[in-house]
A = this chain, B = another copy of it.
């Protein structure tokens, strides 16, 4: 199973409609189609801040896992909202800007169909511990937060 399949099989990504389409060499790409269920407004479609965040965190995690082939829980993330997302498709692209033994730094950009940047995010992810552990657990009880 490749990385994109792994992310497509995650129940929360399925619940939100997030698809990861590329993940290789520390770079990943994904998207979702905005629907009424993503809105923070009952009268019209304006995406809740959690939608761009979930997409960013997912694609960021895919970028890290594509470089490290191990579980990569999110340690922390900052997101900045630059423009409202009001419909159509949201695309995200993530790039690992530093891949260390214990943590990776990742930049993510979320854009709408017009190419406008909706949000940018920067996250720190765990990159593994050599023994199949994660940031929060050791051993076989792995934790895949954010992915």
Binding site for B on A (CB under 8 A): 9-16, 36-42, 46-51, 53-54, 57-58, 61, 73-85, 97-98, 100-103, 105, 107, 117, 120, 122, 124, 126, 129, 133, 135-138, 143-147
Contact = CB atoms under 8 A, between A and B. Distances in A.
Q: Say how many copies of this protein the assembly contains.
A: 4
A37 B58 contact: no
Contacts of A41: 10-11, 144
6 contacts: A46-B143, A53-B57, A80-B105, A80-B124, A82-B98, A84-B145
A50 B57 contact: yes
Chain A contact surface mostly: mixed
A70 B31 CA distance: 31
A47 B40 CA distance: 21
B103 A135 contact: yes
Nearest to A128: B102
Contacts of A38: 11-12, 15
Nearest to A135: B100
Residue of A47, A101, A144 with highest tally of chain B CB at under 10 A: A101
Contacts of A39: 10-12
Given A57-B53, A80-B75, A100 B12 contact: no
